[in-house]
Amino acid sequence: METRRRLEGYEPILCAPLLRKVDRELLHLLSSLTEEEWGYRTVSPRWEVRDVASHLLDTALRKLSMVRDGWFAEKQIPQTPQEVVSLVNRLNNEGVSVFRRLSPPVLIELMKTACEQSADFHESLDPFAKATFNVSWAGEETSANWFDTARELTERWHHQQQIRLATGRPGILTPELYHPVLDCFIRGLPYAYRHIDAPTGINIQLEISGECGGTWVLSRAEHRWHFLQEMPSRIACSVTVPEQIAWMLFTKGIDRDVAMSQIAIDGDERLAEGILGHVAIVG
């Protein structure tokens, strides 16, 4: 009897212990950088390595202050997606402008404390309880803690990868650390496809090639898109993205034409647009 291939995209991403591992690699990375490397440009527009590191420190401290300690310095709650983006961009820029003034030794010492407390906090959460913040790029009005923690992992992982890419230091593109990041990014596809109309039953396959990747199939139901658990008999469009660029595709870290030269599309190219335009970050 033929065994039907099981797909991804429907089970909770229980990755809280990975935050500690990713941040341990971050601390090793930052401690290894030369003074010159702290000033290298990254794929993040306008940010040098020191700015990305400052952002990672700022967001860790900010998350602990708000979610763990209930300390919200911003009293006005954004009401629209545009207001959320504006607020996040402002807070990010303010945080970077402050922490980039620190010397590498001071920043690293503060980062150790922030990383340890952040890992302890996320590991203490009930993964299925309601999170303080929803995952907005996935279109959720409320999110479970497991999704918010997975989102946090994507932030910690992809910004660290930006530093590694800028300084030529490999290390975290592994199945254990990278695959959950990809899985979390891809959970936003049903929302990304909300304005792409297609007949009920149309299926779109996304394959991230490489040992860290996997296969996800998005299917059109009557009023929504959702992930399938088993491979269907027909695929209307298949998109294959190399794992080396997948994280950059979903975080605005690669030029579209450069990405397209490495992406394979088979079938109705119009149906690939939701994948190609999907952004799994705010800002």
pLDDT the model gives residue 137? 96
Q: Which is more confident, 283 or 133?
A: 133
125: CB partners within 8 A, 6+ apart: 16, 145, 149
pLDDT the model gives residue 3? 42
Task: Identify the band that residue 81 occupies on the pLDDT scale cut at 50, 70 and 90.
Answer: confident
- Across the chain, mean pLDDT equals 95
Q: Which of 205, 195, 161, 248 is nearest to 8 (CA)?
A: 205
Give 33-39 contacts, CB < 8 A, sequence gap 24+: 33/104, 33/163, 33/167, 35/104, 37/166, 37/167, 38/104
Q: What CA–CA distance (Å, rounded) separates 86 from 84?
A: 5
Give the homologous superfamily in CATH for domain 189-276. SCP2 sterol-binding domain (3.30.1050.10)
17-63 tens-digit pLDDT: 999 999 999 999 999 999 999 999 999 989 999 999 999 999 999 99
pTM of structure = 0.95
Q: Which is more confident, 261 or 75?
A: 261
**pLDDT of residue 79 exceeding 90:** no
CA distances (Å), origin 260, targets 7, 161, 183, 249: 24, 21, 21, 10
User: In the structure encoding, which two tokens stand for residue 197, read together?
Assistant: 């109309």
232-247 tens-digit pLDDT: 999 999 999 999 999 9
Domain positions in the chain: 16-172, 189-276
**145, 19 Cβ separation under 8 angstroms:** no
SS3 27: helix
What architecture is the 16-172 domain classified under in CATH?
Up-down Bundle (1.20)
